[in-house]
């Protein structure tokens, strides 16, 4: 009986027929539940911050890829002498509207990614931001569509430059303009790499929103 009276005295509640041991176990369970509830949001916040840091890193990689592709394609040209020094064959990216579109598309995407960096940094500080992440998902998807269109169209031209088309009587030019073809082929790598980075960025933003 003295244990039950002591239990009621310690907890400052009227005695309700519980033993001190039962009361202690109840209090322990409530305490553990409270600690678990506090730790859960803390863990989610840490994951969201890690996702935001990875988002920033991927944006830097995509910037490098699109910038390198635009510069490599935009500075591509090759001149071949033909019979005399007064008659020359010249190939440059601006001769083909598709390759010009490729340069413009990569430049636009690169500029967008640079402008999105401050918002990505804000997400590291405020990992629970919602509407700004939704905006980034929308804009990232639009830029993904643009860079995909530019890279796909340029890839088709590069294929024709290497292989030609017998039915259309389009001859392959890479046997003559080998340096030109190497440059335009290499410029596609950064653009397709940026496509992968943008897909990952969209997925990361979706994951961060899902964990709110």
**Of 26-35, 112-121, 169-178, the least confident:** 26-35
Q: What pLDDT is attached to residue 15?
A: 41
Strand partners, 90: 79
Domain annotation covers residue 32: no
The count of domains in the chain is 1
Q: Tokens 């027929």 identify what position?
A: 17
User: What gap in Å lies between CA 160 and CA 169, rounded to an integer?
Assistant: 11
What integer is the mean pLDDT of 127-138? 83
Could you tell me if residue 181 is inside a domain? Answer: yes
Examine residue 199 and state whether it is found in any structural domain, yes or no.
yes
24 assigned to some structural domain: no
The torsion angles phi and psi of 127, rounded to 5 degrees, stand at -70, -15
Mean pLDDT of the 46-61 span: 85
Assess whether pLDDT exceeds 70 at residue 198.
Answer: yes
* Domain span holding position 100: 47-76+91-211
User: What was the pLDDT predicted at 7?
Assistant: 47
Helix pair 97-125, 20-74: axis angle to 10 deg: 150
Is 122 a domain residue? yes
- The yes-or-no verdict on residue 116 having pLDDT over 50 is yes
Domain contains 22: no
Tell me whether residue 6 is in a domain: no
In a domain, 144, yes or no: yes
């Amino acid at each position: 009986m003295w244990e039950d009276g002591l239990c009621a005295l310690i907890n400052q509640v009227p005695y309700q027929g519980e033993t001190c041991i039962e009361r202690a176990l109840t209090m322990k369970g409530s305490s553990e539940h409270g600690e678990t509830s506090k730790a859960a949001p803390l863990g989610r916040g840490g994951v969201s911050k890690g996702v935001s840091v990875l988002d920033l890193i991927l944006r830097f990689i995509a910037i490098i890829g699109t910038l390198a592709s635009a510069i490599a394609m935009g500075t591509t040209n090759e001149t071949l002498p033909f019979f005399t020094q007064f008659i020359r064959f010249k190939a440059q990216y601006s001769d083909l509207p598709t390759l010009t579109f490729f340069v413009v598309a990569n430049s636009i995407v690169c500029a967008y990614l640079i402008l999105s960096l401050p918002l990505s940094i804000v997400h590291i500080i405020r990992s629970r931001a919602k509407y700004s992440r939704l905006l980034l998902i929308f804009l990232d998807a639009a830029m993904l569509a643009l860079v995909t269109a530019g890279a796909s169209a340029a890839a088709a031209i590069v294929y024709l430059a290497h292989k030609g088309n017998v039915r259309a009587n389009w001859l392959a030019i890479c046997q003559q303009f080998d340096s030109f073809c190497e440059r335009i082929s290499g410029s596609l790598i950064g653009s397709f790499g940026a496509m992968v980075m943008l897909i990952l960025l969209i997925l990361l933003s979706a994951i961060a929103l899902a964990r709110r």
